[in-house]
Amino acid sequence: MDFFKAIFRNEPLVTAGISWVVAAFLKFLIILIVERRFNWERLLGTGGMPSTHTTPVVACTTSIGLVVGFDSPLFALAVVLSIIVGYDATGIRRHAGEQAKAITNLIEDLTKGEMFKGQKPADFFHRWNLAELETLLGHNPIEVFVGILLGILVALVVHYRYGYFFPIPF
């Protein structure tokens, strides 16, 4: 029981969890409004607006600053890790997604040619024992920026209402 008390009394951890849920729901809602369709994969999938990688990391970082101080070494570490996550989301992961799109397009073009004529791209993946590539991996800078703002906002709301949201009687 002490384990669960510790988890729910850890404001940065709870803040990160809440912010992830909020970001995932917003991502789902944006797809629902813009594309007028339910896309349940967006709740757990990568890519899209806002960044569900950046939001909880920044929320946790902001919460650490609010709880232990913005001059603490722990906050400094959290800031460095937040920068790395943001860079990774807009850089490496985004480029991997773009490469996956290029490979998928190449395979689609190959299946239209003589060598693989009549095959569907899915047949090509199956023939060569390849998994279909996930193309929505990373984020553009605006998606990460919105994730940063959302993370800060959620951290502020949770911090100033923490006792109200999580009255722990034990």
pLDDT in tens, 140-149: 788 889 999 9
C-alpha–C-alpha distance, residues 137 and 91, integer Å: 11
CB neighbours of 116 closer than 8 A, spacing ≥ 6?
A: 110, 124
Give pLDDT tens digits for 49-68. 788 889 999 999 999 999 99
Q: State the pLDDT at residue 170.
A: 46
Query: Buried b vs exposed e over 46-63: b needs ≥16 C-beta within 10 Å?
Result: bbbbbbbbbbbbbbbbbb
pLDDT given at position 122? 64
Percent of the chain exceeding pLDDT 90 equals 36
At 126 the pLDDT is 60
Does the pTM surpass 0.75? The reply is: no
